[in-house]
Amino acid sequence: MAEKTEAQKKAQQKYMEKFAVARVRMDRTKYDAVQAHAEAHGQSVNGFINKAIDEKMERDKS
């Protein structure tokens, strides 16, 4: 794979500045279950966790 151009690096850096990183620790068995569930539903682990957070926050509004 070719190395990224300076413009590509700058664009990626600008895109990544929109996000914060939150580390979540869980035991390996739980992570494996989350990963399998996410993949079975066509999602990444990150996407699944973000969706779960959104749904929980929405339920808590009621």
Is 48 within a domain?
yes
Task: Give 2-23 pLDDT, tens digit per residue.
Answer: 899 999 999 999 999 999 999 9
Please report, for residues 15, 29, 37, 49, the alpha-carbon distance to residue 19 in angstroms, rounded to integers and kept in the order given. 8, 28, 24, 15
Q: How many domains does the chain have?
A: 1
Sequence-distant (6+) residues with CB within 8 A of 24 are 49
Sequence-distant (6+) residues with CB within 8 A of 12 are 4
Is 18 within a domain?
no
Which stretches of 1-62 are DSSP H helices? Answer: 6-16, 28-40, 45-61
Is 7 within a domain?
no
Residue reference for tokens 């990224």: 4
Task: Give 48-61 pLDDT, tens digit per residue.
Answer: 999 999 999 999 99
- Report the predicted TM-score, pTM, of the whole model to 2 decimal places: 0.75
Residue 59's domain spans which residues?
23-62
